[in-house]
């Protein structure tokens, strides 16, 4: 398995914001999003036992499996080995691939992505997950992002996260519009990238 990094920090986004967790970031992704802030191509080869050993160095029972796109590499046997130690497995995925057969994940966060279909038109990449605990949508404030399409995706919780453009003025405008949308559509809750606000990894 090619692993980009394994590190210990606070979960910065979504339902488990503020929870100490070990992040296992797999290298590689099947999409290319313009706002992605992860250099997910780099990585080192690790076997499953090495990954488990690295995770167990830290005192938390929460593990976030992320990427890139983790479903490209995650296996049922790795999940079983982590679960055998009483760990709680969370996965962050774009949802375009099903979980490999036999993978047991306690909490699935799906962040669906838009793909270009023709000039000036985009659609949500097909979701292939059977179950979504948390749907986390990156709000871009773009005329080609139809929020009504996300409403049709079944999930237990719905969260809207303002896109980070690296431009403070633009980010503030997107945040304001995100809050306005949520107030008009209370099915959604606000998700912030608190790790960036706190300047933690």
From the candidates 5, 23, 71, 178, give the one annotated as an active-site residue: 23
Catalytic residue status for 170: no
Catalytic residue status for 49: no
Catalytic residue status for 103: no
144 Cβ contact list (under 8 Å, min separation 6): 114, 120, 121, 122
Catalytic residue status for 92: yes
From the candidates 15, 17, 19, 33, give the one annotated as an active-site residue: 33
From the candidates 37, 80, 116, 167, give the one annotated as an active-site residue: 37
From the candidates 17, 38, 60, 75, give the one annotated as an active-site residue: 38
Catalytic residue status for 29: yes
Catalytic residue status for 195: yes
From the candidates 5, 13, 26, 29, give the one annotated as an active-site residue: 29
Catalytic residue status for 167: no
From the candidates 5, 13, 69, 92, give the one annotated as an active-site residue: 92
From the candidates 19, 50, 146, 195, give the one annotated as an active-site residue: 195
From the candidates 36, 49, 144, 151, give the one annotated as an active-site residue: 36
Catalytic residue status for 40: no
Q: Which residues are catalytic?
A: 23, 29, 33, 36-38, 92, 195
């Amino acid at each position: 398995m090619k692993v980009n990094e394994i590190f210990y920090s606070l979960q910065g986004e979504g339902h488990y914001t503020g929870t100490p967790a070990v992040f296992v970031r797999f290298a590689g992704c099947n999409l290319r999003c313009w706002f992605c802030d992860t250099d997910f191509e780099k990585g080192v080869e690790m076997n499953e036992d090495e990954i488990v050993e690295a995770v167990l160095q830290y005192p938390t029972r929460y593990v976030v499996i992320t990427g890139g796109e983790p479903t490209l590499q995650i296996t049922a046997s790795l999940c079983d080995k982590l679960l055998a130690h009483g760990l709680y497995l969370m996965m962050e995925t774009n949802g375009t691939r099903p979980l490999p057969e036999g993978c047991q994940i306690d909490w699935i966060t799906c962040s669906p992505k838009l793909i270009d279909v023709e000039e000036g038109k985009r659609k949500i990449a097909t979701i292939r997950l059977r179950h979504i605990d948390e749907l986390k949508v990156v709000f871009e404030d773009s005329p080609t992002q139809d929020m009504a399409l996300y409403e049709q995706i079944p999930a237990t919780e719905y969260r809207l996260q303002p896109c980070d453009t690296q431009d403070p003025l633009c980010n503030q405008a997107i945040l304001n519009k995100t809050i306005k949308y949520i107030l008009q559509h209370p099915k959604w809750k606000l998700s912030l990238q608190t790790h960036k606000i706190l300047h933690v990894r």
